[in-house]
Amino acid sequence: MKTFGPRLQAAMAELGPVCVGIDPHPELMQAWELPVTAEGLEQFAEICVEAFDGLVALVKPQVAFFEAFGSQGIAVLERTISVLRASGTLVLADAKRGDIGSTMAAYARTWLDDESPLCSDAVTVSPFLGFGSLEPALDLASRNNHGVFVLAATSNPEGAQVQLARNTDGRSVSQTIVDEVAARNVGEQLGSVGIVLGATLASAPDLTELNGPILLPGVGAQGGGPDEVRKLVGTHGRAAVPSASREILREGPSVTALRDALARTTDSFAFLQE
């Protein structure tokens, strides 16, 4: 099996660069006239799978919204991941895990071990216990041809307190993370270690050496659009993966309406693959 980076690159070339989130927020479930229960969650997920499977480069279930329903929610997440991956659709588990030692290794096994029922093509991780704390996830992903997206520069205002702090060498924490990721991707066609970069940020770290995918959450409802993404990624458009959730999901529960919203979003970012 090819490594994650080239698989994602091929999917974006065929289907466009957009990542669609599956975010079963209670307000969205109510808007879809679904009960805010495990049964409603399953219906929500099934509609999303029907709407997006095979039509989008990357699907990103927001893990927290499934965990909120306990073991039944996790079971729905397992089935959602399994169905999507079985048909060849790439799945990014948006779990944002971060810890040290054996605990980080356990998180890695959950999302990146092929024997795990929650195994996904990639997972989001948090490096703010030190980039080295991510080694268990990075190593397992490499062995199993999976991917990892590392939080680097997020668009929430509180993030700047940590991410824009300066190290002793003068680099911001965000830039340090980007540079650490770049070191993992040296010599690759497109590396399998990516970063998370908020689509509504005013500026980005230097991405020159990154050579990995750039996930850009915040497209649509949160204010990020083609102009903002173009400004942030500059000449690295082919690595950019704009991520939209509510902008598309609010068109549900009609599968046709969800697909139409996906098509409009994909068209608006087609320039990234030119």
Cα(57)–Cα(155) distance, integer angstroms = 23
Q: Could you give the C-alpha distances from 22 to 51, 82, 254, in angstroms and in order? A: 11, 14, 15
Question: CB–CB of 148/122 below 8 Å?
Answer: yes
Cα–Cα nearest to 214, from 238, 195, 186 = 195
Cα(200)–Cα(50) distance, integer angstroms = 30
Cα angle 160, 163, 169 (rounded to 5 degrees) comes to 130
Cα(134)–Cα(176) distance, integer angstroms = 14
Cα(111)–Cα(179) distance, integer angstroms = 24
Residues tagged active-site: 96
Cα(189)–Cα(185) distance, integer angstroms = 9
Q: Which residues contact 8 (CB under 8 A, 6 or more apart)?
A: 57, 58, 90, 122, 147, 190, 213, 241
Cα–Cα nearest to 251, from 20, 32, 42, 105 = 32
Count of other CB atoms within 10 angstroms of residue 111: 27
